[in-house]
Structure 1
Amino acid sequence: MTVKKSIGTWLLCSLLAGCSQQLHGLSSEPLSGSLYDYQLTTADNAPLTLEAFSKEVKDADVILVGEWHTHSGVHLFQAQLLAMLNSAYPNVALSMEQFTRNDQAVLDDYLAGKFGENSLLSNTSKWSNYEGSYRPLVEYAKAHSVPVIASNAPIEIVRCIAKEGKGYLDQLTPEKRSLVAATLSDGDSPYKEKFLAAMFHGDEEKTENQYLAQLAWDDTMAESIVNYLAKHPNNKVMHIAGAFHVENGLGIAARITARNPELKVAIVSPQSEEQPLGKEVKDFRLVVNPLPPQWLSDDEMNAAMKEMRHSYSGKDIACD
C-alpha cells in the first residue's frame, strides 16, 4: 500500500509540477498528435519552459490563462502551471470562471475539508465538465492550501440581463445585486467591436443586451480579482477563463486595469496551427493541437449558432 501511494504521489508530482523533463511544454520539439500535448511560447513564438515562464511573470499580479473549454492540453497546462507558480511564489490564489460568487462559501468549506466532493458539486454552479477539466485544479488547491476565488456572476442573472437589458439589475435585491459587478463597462471599445462582429444577427437591441450579458461575466470576474488583491496585496492570482474573455488584453484584462491601473497583468492565450494568433496579439501563446471540428457543413454551423444565440437570449428564462 505504501509503495502504491508513493508511486501515485510521484505521478501526481510529474503531471502537475513538471518534475520530469519529458513533460509537455518543456521542449521545442513539434507537437505530436496528442490532445494532451502543448508548447508554451512568447508572443514571438520562442519556446518557454514552465519554470522560465514563472520567472517571466515574477512581477505580474494577475496571470490570465485563456482556455478552450474541454481541451485536454489546455487543462493539463493549467494544472501544471498552478503547481509551478505555487512552488515559485509564496502567495498564489486561483480564480475560476467556473464558479460564481454565490458558490464561495461552499467552495471554501470544501477546501477546508468540511465535506466531500458530492456536496461541493451538488451545491454549486459547477460546470458539466468539472470532473475531467477542473477537478485537478481544485484538488491541488485543496491539498496545498491555495485559495480559490469563485469569481463569476450567476448564469441565471446573466441570462436575464441578455433578455431584459441592464435595467434588470435594478430589480434585484441588494444581496443578488452584489453577485454582479457594481458597474458594467458598456462604452465603445475594441472588445465591443470584436463581440458584435462575432454575434450580430440583425436585431440591434438583442445584440446589445447579449453584449451586456458578456460584460456581466467580464466585469464581475475582473472586480472579484481586484477586490481579492486589495485585501491580499502580496498575492498573485492565476485566473482561468474562456479565451475570448482574455485574448489580447481585452475583456477581463481591460476591466482589471480600469479598476486598478497599478496591477500588472500577464496573459496566456491558446492557439493551434489552424488557428494562429495574429502578430498584433502580444500574449504568451499556448500552442495546442486543434479540437475535432464542431461542424462539417453550413447547416450544422447555422444550427449550432442558432442554439447558442437562443441560450444567450434567455428567451425561456423567468426573470422575476
Structure 2
Amino acid sequence: MKKLFFILYFLIFANVVFSQKQPYVIYKANGKEVSYEKMLKSLQKSNIILFGELHNNPIAHWLQYEVTADLHESKPLILGAEMLEADNQEALNHYLIDSINYKALDTLARLWPNYKTDYAPLVDLAKDKKLEFIATNVPRRYANLVYRKGFEALDSLSDQEKKWVAPLPIIFEPELPTYQNILKMMGEHGSPKLVMAQAIKDATMAHFILKHYQENHTFIHYNGAYHSDKYEGILWYLKQKRDDLNYATISTVSQVNIHELEEENLNKADFIICVDNDMTTTY
C-alpha cells in the first residue's frame, strides 16, 4: 500500500512539475541543458564575460542582473556596456558617485529609450556596490562616419575625439563569418562600409574593456548578442590583444520550443539562454 501511495504521489508531483511552463532554458554550446548554478560556477573562473542580449528581452535583462549580483558575492567586478558611449563616461562617473541624479544623467548622456527599465538596474547596482561601470561603445556619430566614409575618415578626428575610439589604424578582418552574414542579411543594402561600422563598435568596446580590466577581477560586459556570437565580434578583438585571458560568452535566443536548442543556435556562445518566443518584450 505504501509503495502504491509513493508511486501515485510521484506521478502527481511529476505531472505538476513538468506541466509548468518555463520561460527559458539555459544550454551549453553543444546544446546540453545546464543549470543556472553550474553556469554561475563556470563564470566565476572567467576574467572577462561577454553577456549577449536581445535588447528588448526581459529575461536576458533579469539574468544579467542576477548573474552580476551573484558573482559580486564571490569576487570583485568591473561592469561595462555597449549601451553607454565612451564620451559619456564623465557623466556616468558623476552619477556613480552621486554628484548628479538620474534626471541629470539623462540630460548629459545619450541614454537608450529602454535605459530606465533595462539598464538602470545594472548601473544602480554598480552605484550601490561602488563598482566601476565603463561606457565602452564608440560614439554613434563616429560609427555613422565610418559607415559613410570608411575607417580613413577617423584620421580627421581631433586628439580628444580619438580618445573615444579604438586606437588607429583599426585592425579589420572582413571575412569573419558574422561580418559576412551582415552582408547576406542586408542584401543589396549591404556594403563593406556597413561591416566597418560594425567593426568599429566591436573594436572600441574591446579596447575599453581591456583598458579598464584589472587582474583578479571579472569584467562583465553587456552587449547585443550579435557583437559576441560565434566567438567573434568583440571577442575576436579582445583576443588580438590578450589571448591569455579566460573569456566566457553568453548569448540570448528566442524559440517557439525552448526544450531543444535549434541547430542554428548551437555554438553561438559558451552558454545560450533560450527564451520562449511568446515572452513579452520591454519595447
TM-score (norm 1): 0.75
User: Match of 1:258?
Assistant: 240
Please tell me whether the aligned partners of residues 61 and 236 of structure 1 are also in contact (alpha carbons under 8 angstroms).
yes
Matched, 1:80 2:69: no
| Per-residue deviation, 1:115 | 1.6
Instruction: Pick closer, same or farther for the CA change 1:292–1:272 going to 2, 3 Å.
Output: closer
The residue that corresponds to 1:192 in the other structure is 179
CA distance in 1, matches of 2:147, 2:273: 31
Alignment counterpart, residue 63 of structure 1, candidates 49, 56, 59: 49
Distance apart, 1:184 and its partner CA: 2.4
Query: Which has the bigger relative contact order, CA under 8 A and spacing at least 6?
Result: 2
Larger radius of gyration: 2
Counterparts of 1:30 and 1:216, CA distance in 2: 47
Asked if 1 retains the 8 angstrom alpha-carbon contact of 2:251 and 2:269, the reply is no
| Alignment of structure 1 residues 155-174 onto 2, 5 Å | 155-174=140-159
Q: Give the count of matched residue pairs.
A: 258
Change (3 A) 1:31 1:210: farther
Tell me, what secondary structure is at the counterpart of 2:38? helix
Aligned-pair identity (%): 24
- CA-atom RMSD, angstroms? 2.3
Does structure 1 retain, via aligned residues, the 8 Å contact 2:86–2:135?
Answer: yes
Q: Distance in 2 between matches of 1:169 and 1:288?
A: 39
Unaligned runs of 5+ in 1: 1-27, 295-320
- Say whether the 8 Å CA contact 1:245–1:251 is kept in structure 2: yes
Contact 1:51 1:84 in 2 (8 A): no
Q: CA deviation at 1:87?
A: 1.1
Alpha-carbon distance, 1:135 to partner = 1.1
Aligned to 2:21: 32
Matches within 5 A, 1:148-297: 148-182=133-167, 183-187=169-173, 188-201=175-188, 207-229=191-213, 232-274=214-256, 276=262, 277-290=264-277
Following superposition, the deviation at residue 282 of structure 1 comes to: 4.8
The question of whether the paired residues in 1 share the 8 Å contact of 2:147 and 2:194 is answered with yes
Q: How big is each residue's C-alpha offset from its partner over 1:88-116, in whole Å with a ceiling of 9 and x where there is no partner?
A: 21x11111001111111111111111121
TM-score normalised to structure 2 length? 0.84
Deviation string 1:7-49 (CA, Å, 9 cap, x unpaired) is: xxxxxxxxxxxxxxxxxxxxx968837xxx3332322344444
